[in-house]
Amino acid sequence: MTETTDAKTRIADTVNAHDVVLYMKGTKAMPQCGFSSRVAGVLNYMGVDFEDVNVLADDAIRQGIKDYSDWPTIPQLYVKGEFVGGCDIITEMTLSGELDGLFEQNGISFNKDAADKIREANA
């Protein structure tokens, strides 16, 4: 098995094993880039239980996740195995309420009041 195939298999296993997965630089407790920090911050603030994968800890995953999603940047958010987007998309979806809808449709628990506060603060 090549490193690329192995990374792809590990990524598929991870996104299918957890309802919400964030591939990011750093961890949810200690993000190591502004974009990762913003997405992890939104998820943490909204009380979403998510799996964080630190791409800086594994070069095969760092490149593999870009190939897996055909998306060039990190962070990358997955909900129920589906790629949702990166920082700009998640920010837009949070502000429009679309992220709430996605979580509701998929039975992901989150704090609606916190989501509303984010929108109020950015109105």
- Longest C-alpha distance within the chain, in Å? 50
Is 33 labeled as ligand-binding? Answer: yes
Q: Are 84 and 34 in contact (CB under 8 A)?
A: no
From CA 85, how far away is CA 51, in angstroms rounded? 16
| Distance (Å, whole) CA 63 – CA 7 | 9
Type and span of the H or E element at 80: none
Q: Which residues are annotated as a binding site?
A: 33
Instruction: Tell me the binding residues for [2Fe-2S] cluster.
Output: 33
